[in-house]
Structures are given as structure tokens and as C-alpha cells.
Structure 1
């Protein structure tokens, strides 16, 4: 019975999430209840990503549990979405946005052009592969500890080095998802406040460790410039020229503050196709997740940019690069 209810909850959640939100006609939250024996056994919440990012979704679930257990919530300490929007339209908010746009344009000016795609698009056009690696988490953390950076920085440096090998760029740029929750007043905002930062690296370094250290300082500066008016940013970047663009997006959703001494678990590396949806979210995207000691990295790419075998090989090359760096 428990398994049946869980199946019904997953089935209900999948059904609610499958239909795109009609932004102008419905609330950005859908709810379903799984009832058995006259009682609600499971509650399914589906949030529109325009209304909540990953952290905000966790806050919604946390508050829902508190309401069920205590029938009350603690006092609100973070800004509301309305207050955050008011700040964004204030002189201070516009100044922050303008500085971020200026920073991006300066970084774009450093980048080498990305050559046009040379492969014939496949069917489906966009393909995702996921690698589950017992060795990668320990290797990334070993390199991170040696250079006093985060394992996320090590993965970003490796991803960008391989991207430069695909594009032939020396100065390569990649967009990185930033949660923008550094300030206490924004930590628990239930909204989508994450935005992209632009990280540009000079890939011609004497060692991978040197590239990792460069990535650490460069990424920290970029994180500070990840709050901006997206429409103004799009207009400014479009004027920079079609040949000057970043190579894809990097998103590490792990809790990187949990970095520590991790020993690789037993088992072999697995790479498998995980998504065949023909939708253009991004021409190239890396997503990092998984459990401690068993890292999971997905690569989603336009087959005109990288054919399916190349997508899988990219993930294996990333593992090989960082595992080898950990040994040296």
C-alpha cells in the first residue's frame, strides 16, 4: 500500500509538472493530494520556476511542514518578493544592475570568438547524458584541498578547459548559476532570485592547479556581478556581437560548504542518456549533483555543437582530467 501511494504521488506530480504553466491565467503553484482510507497521505507541490528557484522550493516545503506540525510559522526575516522588486527598481538597484552589465561587457571584450557549429543536428536536437562517478567526488575534493578552493571551482575549471579544447579559445567564458542569497535579508526569499554570472578564464596556464586558482578568484568576482535587469543585460550583450558569446552554462546544486575528506566509493563509472527532450534551454549545460562520495554530472548539449557520443566523451574526459590532477 505504501509503494502504491508513493507511485500515485509521483504519477500525480509528473502529471502536474508536464503541462506548461499559463503565466497569465493561473497561480504559479499546483497542488495535488493522494488520499487513502479517508486521509491525505501525500501532498504534491509543483512550483513554476518563475516563482521559485531550488532554494525557494525547499523553503516552501519546510514552511508547509511547520504549518502541519505547529499550525504556525516563525516571524518573517527575509525580504518579500514585492520588497525585492521595489529595491531592484530603486536608484540603488539600478546602479547595481548597471555595474553588473558593465562588468559583463568588459569580460565579453576579453573573450575569443566561438566558431560556428560544424555538426549536422541530430534527432532529437538536444540530448542529455549523465555520469555517475565514485572517483570524481574524491578527486575533485583532493584538488580543492590542495589549492584551498571549493570542489565546485575545480569542476568549473575542468569544464572550461575541455570547452576551450572544443572551441579553440584561449580566453573562454562560461555562465555560472549564482543563488544571490549571500545577504541575510535575501536568504529565505521565496522567489527566483538566482541569476547567471560570467566567468572568463585564460586557459593557457602552466598547470591545472594554476587554472583552478585562477578560476577561484575570477569566479568570486563574477558572483558579485550576478544581480541585474535581465532585459537590459540581454540588450547590452546582443550589441557586443554574435561571435562573442559564452560557452554554455555551469550549475552546481550541491551544498559545496559540505566539502570534506571523501574516499571514493566502490563501483565503476556509469554514463547513460538521461533526457531526450527537444527543447532549447541552453546550447550546452553542465549540472552537478549527487550524494557525498558519488558525484553525478549531467551534460545537456545541442547536437549541432556536440554529437551524442561527444557529449558522453566530454563527461568521461572531465572525470579523467580531474582524477589525473588529483594524482599529481
Structure 2
């Protein structure tokens, strides 16, 4: 394997210095907690006929069109970290030539890992790393890694969609203007009177909930492990089929169904009600943000009481609470942290908000909502194809973080947890419980949740 670099010159509209936007600051603080620059991206095959010039054009387009891709961070003398957007610059495209006897897909994956593992200098490095892998002189794969500080999954989809729609090499299609608020404009709006009024309303909502929810989320360190942080992942074709059946029967969206499965399963494992979790909101429903490339995801706070009710009734509650939580999921994380500390001090106990749920499916939501199974046996028969996997690490994560991932012909969900607060046994019981509950409730609206839940 050999490589060389092609220097790509770019320029774009908009430059200057602003405070970090709320979305950027949310990720900035997460990066500090997790000791990671949170790289995200892919190593994928390219269409036949793709050239290095095509990759150069894509990289130049990304850097020029999106202020996010020209954003770096600096620490000013007043102690503030601020975003700095450049008007122009240069960036390298790496061209990697796989040896004749090497698998180009494996080479691309090794480049992806190298990009992700390399240190990132926020003040000097551009937030994009791109490479093209060639095999016997022909491009076969492309690797793209973005720093999470400048985009999120939904923002990355905007970039991919626009690149696919345009003929970047030959310029045969006009490039439409950017209509979404970009990060500097977001920061200015957030500091404006209108932004501050909205922010005050959001904090009032959070304060009301912080004063009433139980302070503790987890029973305690029942089985602490080393490495401390564990991940359990379940690929469940049966859950995929069951969720389709529940959607057909209830007409509730699949994201709410999956959140309800998690809430009930965790309530049964931890024997708690209400269940309090922070749900990740894309915030793309807000004005000027539908096509934003910037990171604008925040968390809304959900508290769901599970009394003597059926799963369908729990699903209705979850859906309503989630919709309200998304509405109040746009804020300055510094102000929220201060509010949590203030209310915790007044209550005389720390309010633990470290339980999260994130439905990050980007490419398979429509697959999940495909035609449902008509025979219950089709769902139960799929249970034998489930696959459970474990990993552990020393890198910090939140105390409990449930994630729904894109999966092919399966429902792929995982739990990350701090075993000093959540035991591996409880982690497995939760993901297995989600699967079992989905299968049980697929065709039966009378399934109840109370029997294994105590307030």
C-alpha cells in the first residue's frame, strides 16, 4: 500500500468569528467528557467510472459550500472557545494505492480507522478527512471522516444528497443557494432577543420537570467491571417484524414504538416508574434548519409514568411525552448545566440525567415501516436469528445510552453503560426484554406493563 496527497484549493461565502452555537457547544462538552473528537464517517465503494478528479471536485464543493466544513475552534484570552470560519484555504485529499494482492475494501477500512484514531487539532486542522483508494490504478473506495463538532448524521445526509444531485466535475447543473441557517448565523440568532425568549421558555419547562422527577436513575454498582464501560448489541429480525406489526396496529411512528420498548423494558429491569430519559432531537423541524449541515441535535427530557396500563397505553404516553420533549430540546447547554446544579442544590441531592435514547437510523426508517407481517408465527420464528454481541472499553461513556442503528433486515439496537452504575446482566436483560416485549405486543393490544414495574 502506498499513498500520496493532492492539494485542493477552496473558497466559499461567509467568514468570521462567533461564539460556538448551542449545538456545537453540546458536542464540545461531550467531547471533553468522552476524551474524543467524535469522528464520524464511512469507507464505501464508489460507482464505476469514478475518478480522482471526481473526489477532488467533491472535496472542493464541501469545503466551499458549507461554512461548517471551514470551521475551526480557538481559545480566546477571555477563556471562551469560539468558532472561526475561513473564507478560503487548502486541504489535502489522500490517494491510497492498494497493492495488487490487497483487498481494497480492507485497505479502505484501515484508512478509516487511521483517520479516526489520529489526533485532531481543533485550532489548526480542517474538520474533514478524505481519501480515495485505488486498486490497480482504478478508484474503488472513498473514505470520508467528519469531526462531529461541525455536523451530525442528518447534516451529513444533506451533504450526500446534494453531492449526488449535482454534476460537480462538469458543472452541468446549477448549484442552488444555501437556505439553511449556518453556524455563525445560528449563534447570532441564539444571542438575539428572540433566541433568548425561546431559550427562557425551554429552561422553564426543564426547571418544572427537574423539581418533580426522581433524582436517581440507577440502583447502584451491583457488578462493577474493568474495563469499566460496556456495550451490548442485539441484532433482532424478530423486533423489526414486530415493530412493523405494532405500527400497523397502532399507527404510531416507529421511533416512538422503539422508545416505548426501551422505557418499558428498562422499567421492568430497574423496577422503577416513572422512567426518566433524555431523547435526542434532530431539531430539523425548526425554522431555517431543515437542510442544515450544522450540528443542532440536543436532548429533550421525557418522564413516563408506567402504571396499571397496557403496552398500547404506554405507547400513547411515550409518543406524547416525546413530542413535547422534542419541542423543548434547543438550549444553551451551559445554562442547562447551571440550572441542574441549582435545582440539585435546592433539593439536597444530585439529579441524575445520564439516561439517553437515540434513534439514529438514517437510511432504514422506511424499511422499518415496510408492510407488516400477517402471521404471528413469522415473528416468533425470527427469534432464532437474533445475535448478541459484547464489547468493553476504558473510554468514558454516559451511564446508560440506548441507540437504535441502521440495520439490514434486522433491528439493530445497543446499550452503552457504565458498569459502576448498570450491571452487564441488567444491560442484557434490557435488550432481551425489548425484543420479548415487541414480539409479545406485535398482535396483542392487551399486553400489560404493570406486573413487572413498581413505583
- TM-score by shorter chain over 0.5: yes
Are 1:192 and 2:299 matched, yes or no? no
User: How is 1:230-269 mapped onto 2 (pairs within 5 angstroms)?
Assistant: 230-241=333-344, 242-246=349-353, 248-254=355-361, 256=365, 259-263=369-373, 264=379, 266=382, 268-269=385-386
Counterpart in the other structure of 1:99:
201
SS at match of 2:442: helix
**Deviations for 1:183-242, whole angstroms, at most 9, x for unmatched residues?**
462122111111111111011142111110011111111111111111111111122224
Secondary structure in 2 matching 1:324: helix
Q: Tell me how large the CA RMSD over aligned residues is.
A: 2.4
Aligned to 1:51: 150
> Does the 8 Å CA contact 1:110/1:171 hold for their aligned counterparts?
no
Structure 2 vs 1, CA of residues 2 and 261 (structure 1 numbering), >3 Å: closer, same or farther?
Answer: farther
For 1:249 and 1:77, locate their aligned partners in 2 and report how far apart those are by CA, in whole Å: 31
The structure-2 alpha-carbon separation of the partners of 1:119 and 1:48, relative to structure 1 and needing over 3 Å to count, comes to same
2:184 corresponds to:
82
Q: Does 1:23 align with 2:122?
A: yes
- Provide the rounded CA distance (Å) in 1 between the counterparts of 2:101 and 2:243: 39
Q: How far did 1:292 drift? A: 5.9
C-alpha distance in structure 1 between counterparts of 2:101 and 2:142, whole Å: 14
Q: Quick one: structure 1 residues 24 and 107, their matched pair in 2 at CA, closer, same or farther if it must change by over 3 Å?
A: same
Cα pair distance change 1:96/1:323, threshold 3 Å: same
> Following the alignment from structure 1 to structure 2, what is the Cα–Cα distance between the partners of residues 323 and 213?
18
In 2, distance between residues paired with 1:176 and 1:222?
A: 7
Name the structure, 1 or 2, with higher relative contact order (CA <8 Å, separation 6+). Answer: 1
Structure 2 residue corresponding to 1:229, chosen from 332, 336, 343: 332
Partner residue in 1 for 2:96:
none
- Following superposition, the deviation at residue 131 of structure 1 comes to 0.5
- Does the CA contact (< 8 Å) of 2:397 and 2:417 recur in 1? no
TM-score by length of structure 2 reads 0.66
Residue in 2 aligned with 1:217?
320
Q: Which moved more, 1:222-231 or 1:251-260?
A: 251-260
Counterparts of 1:134-153 in structure 2, within 5 Å, are 134-153=237-256
Higher Cα radius of gyration: 2
Q: Counterparts in 2 of 1:278-317, with a 5 A limit? A: 278-291=394-407, 293-317=409-433
CA deviation string 1:5-28 (max 9, x = no partner): 222221111100112422223221
Change (3 A) 1:37 1:271: closer
SS of the residue 1:291 aligns to: coil
**Where does structure 2 lack aligned partners over 5 or more consecutive residues?**
1-99, 374-378, 445-455
Q: Is the Cα contact below 8 Å between 2:397 and 2:416 reproduced in 1?
A: no
- Structure 2 matches for 1:114-133, cutoff 5 A? 114=216, 117-133=220-236
- CA separation of 1:157/1:2 partners in 2, compared to 1, >3 Å: closer, same or farther? farther
TM-score, normalization: structure 1? 0.90
Partner residue of 1:9 out of 99, 105, 108:
108
Q: How far apart in 2 are the matches of 1:325 and 1:295?
A: 16
- The CA deviation at 1:173 is 0.9
- Contact kept, 8 Å, 1:138 with 1:261, in 2: the verdict is no
Unaligned runs of at least 5 residues, structure 1: none
CA shift for structure 1 position 257:
5.6
Q: How many Å apart are 1:308 and its aligned residue?
A: 2.2
CA contact (8 A) 1:112 1:172 kept: no
Q: Do 2:221 and 2:423's aligned partners in 1 also have CA atoms closer than 8 Å?
A: no
User: Structure 1: how far apart are the matches of 2:407 and 2:168?
Assistant: 29
Contact 2:221/2:419 (CA < 8 Å) preserved in 1?
A: no
CA contact (8 A) 1:136 1:319 kept: yes
- Shift of the 168–238 alpha-carbon distance from structure 1 to 2, 3 Å rule, reads farther
Instruction: State the 1:61 CA deviation.
Output: 3.4
Name the CA distance, whole Å, in 2 between partners of 1:82 and 1:111.
36
Shift in Å, 1:32: 2.4
In the comparison of the two structures, how many residue pairs are matched? 327
**Counterpart Cα distance in 2 of 1:59 and 1:9:** 23
Asked if 2 retains the 8 angstrom alpha-carbon contact of 1:108 and 1:245, the reply is no
